[in-house]
Amino acid sequence: MRPSSRTKTLSMSGNSSCTPGKRGRRPGSDRRVRRTRQRLGLALLTLIQERPISEVTVQDVLDLASVGRSTFYLHFRGKDDLLLSQFELFFEMMSTALTRSREKSQRVAPVAEMFAHIAEQQKLYRALRDCGRMSDFFELGEGYFARGIAQRLTESSRFPNLPQRDLDARAHALAGSLLSLLRWWLDRGAREPAKEMDDLFHRMVWSGIR
């Protein structure tokens, strides 16, 4: 059967740098590429919640997504590459969310939104933890959030003359703190409300950055 579009996963609709762009490609073709990649990603994330990723084959993904093998290998090298693309898509959307929405707050990352999303996906995150892929998730996320936080600090009126090196260093430190906080929160069973974690993180951000 095909994965339902209502199934909640890491994947989010919308444009992403993870989608390969080719000069001259027609808009309709771009949409088809995104839909194909989304179907494949959704299929993999659905399957790894049912059994370990080591037991999931590329053919299992193709059958669930109703995508041909040649089409799959046009976009991905294998199931691990497909999984990493889902991580990238998630972090690209999350790390740039505040800048894209032009939020006027002093938040540097959408902590409440990300934590709330992850709280709804605990079965998936347990599956990722059990198959040893959470280290890849956190490692990849740090780079995305470092760039996103650096952009938010640049947009902030608090640091009009901050040297780029100092801004980048602060952004990387804050990205590491954010993911460390996420790991702590998940290890505790995600008991604290997402909004509370957002408030806690940003108190640490502005008390520490001064």
Domain 1-85, CATH among 3.30.470.20, 1.10.540.10, 1.10.357.10, 3.60.15.10: 1.10.357.10
| Three-state secondary structure of 143-203 | HHHHHHHHHHHHHCCCCCCCCHHHHHHHHHHHHHHHHHHHHHHHHCCCCCCHHHHHHHHHH
Residue 79 burial by Cβ neighbours in a 10 Å radius (0-12, 13-18, 19+): buried
CB atoms within 10 A of CB 58: 16
Q: Domain limits of the chain? A: 1-85, 96-209
**C-alpha to C-alpha distance for 187 and 14, rounded to whole angstroms:** 30
**C-alpha to C-alpha distance for 207 and 210, rounded to whole angstroms:** 6
What is the distance of C-alpha 77 from the center of its chain? 20
Please report, as a single letter, which amino acid is at residue 33.
V
Please report, as a single letter, which amino acid is at residue 168.
D
CB atoms within 10 A of CB 119: 18
Mean pLDDT by 10 residues, the chain (210 residues): 42 41 52 93 96 95 97 96 96 96 94 96 91 92 96 82 87 96 94 97 82
pLDDT at site 151:
93
**C-alpha to C-alpha distance for 138 and 105, rounded to whole angstroms:** 26
pLDDT at site 208:
66
